[in-house]
């Protein structure tokens, strides 16, 4: 879309742009037949995504690590939309055990699943290992969602087949995927603190989100499954995600204030990709400001996507 469109909010080919809000891009959408899971749905753009999907009639499951925050989010949604259908389930994406427990609990509810919004994440944190011994940003932003998606995929396939409604998976990535390590993914040095960069590790995890979407799309197309998988850049939004670098980000915002979005604007691209009928059958794409955008070369590397998939499967198996 370019800097001019970003700053001015000028709409792109979709009819929407950086100034569009989540309610605007879903106006007229009837989501009453849809069930959606939103990870990180207790705050920030995850909460806004959950709120707007519920507003449009979807049955929304808020998946969150902090259950008090999730309960507050549910209450907020019900206050604004009394007839909303909202449930909460605990999910800590940095723990593969928690991911499996979430999937078991959701599947036991015997609900359909049309939309999976892989939204939750952490950003720029100091070097840490997850409970499974995996670098924390990679574990939380990519690997937890990788396992969650795989555990829920059969439910999504069966829902799409029985209802005839296209299933959609949306991965929250970032423009930060451009700023990663030289080879894209540090397979051999993932857990090496001597090469760790909090910024590049974040970019690595966001690159992984795009590569995951592309490889999963390829696999689903081969099967003929009626499910699309896309990734999005929400834009610059001041949320709790930036808690590890709040001072730096606030200073940056002073000099780049025209490029920042409100939370409703930040959730717009997710809501657009998840619900807009114009995107029927569109898969393996990357969106920003509600329009398709180009990724960097690494994000288009099919071999890297396949290698990441195999690497992720090994990590998941080793943590069992």
- Active site (catalytic) residues: 196
Task: List for the chain the helix, strand, coil content (%; round to 5).
Answer: 50, 15, 35
10 Å CB burial of residue 188 (0-12, 13-18, 19+) is: exposed
- What CA–CA distances, in Å, run from 2 to 149, 213, 266? 32, 24, 17
From residue 288, give the alpha-carbon distance in Å to each of 15, 53, 72, 111, 139.
13, 19, 29, 31, 24
* The two three-digit tokens of residue 182, written as one number: 């030289």
CA–CA separation, 44 vs 264, rounded Å? 9
Phi and psi angles of residue 55, each rounded to the nearest 5 degrees, phi first: -60, -35
Query: How far, in Å, CA of 41 to CA of 307, rounded?
Result: 30
């Amino acid at each position: 879309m370019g800097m001019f469109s970003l700053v001015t909010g000028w709409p792109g080919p979709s009819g929407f742009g950086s100034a569009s809000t989540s309610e605007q891009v879903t106006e007229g959408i009837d989501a009453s037949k849809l069930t959606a899971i939103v990870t990180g749905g207790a705050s920030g753009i995850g909460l806004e995504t959950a709120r707007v999907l519920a507003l449009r009639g979807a049955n929304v499951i808020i998946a969150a690590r902090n259950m008090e925050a999730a309960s507050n989010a549910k209450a907020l949604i019900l206050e604004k939309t009394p007839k909303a259908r909202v449930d909460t389930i605990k999910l800590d994406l940095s723990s593969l055990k928690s991911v499996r427990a979430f999937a078991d609990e959701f599947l036991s509810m015997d609900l359909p699943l049309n939309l999976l919004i892989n939204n939750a994440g952490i950003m720029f944190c100091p070097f840490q290992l997850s409970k499974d011994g995996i670098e924390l940003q990679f574990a939380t932003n990519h690997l937890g969602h990788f396992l969650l998606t795989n555990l829920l995929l059969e439910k999504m396939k069966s829902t799409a087949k029985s209802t005839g409604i296209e299933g959609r998976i949306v991965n929250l990535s970032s423009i930060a995927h451009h700023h990663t390590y030289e080879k894209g993914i540090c397979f051999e040095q993932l857990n090496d603190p001597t090469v760790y960069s909090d910024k590049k590790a974040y970019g690595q995890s966001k690159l992984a989100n795009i590569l995951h979407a592309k490889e999963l799309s390829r696999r689903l197309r081969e099967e003929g499954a009626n499910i699309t998988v896309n990734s999005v850049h929400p834009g610059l939004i001041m949320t709790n995600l930036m808690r590890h670098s709040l001072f730096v980000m606030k200073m940056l915002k002073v000099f780049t204030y025209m490029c920042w979005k409100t939370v409703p604007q930040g959730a717009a691209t997710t809501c657009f990709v998840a619900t807009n009928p114009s995107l029927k059958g569109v898969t393996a794409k990357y969106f920003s400001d509600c329009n398709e955008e180009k990724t960097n070369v690494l994000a288009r590397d099919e071999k890297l996507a396949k290698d990441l998939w195999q690497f992720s499967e090994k990590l998941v198996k080793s943590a069992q």
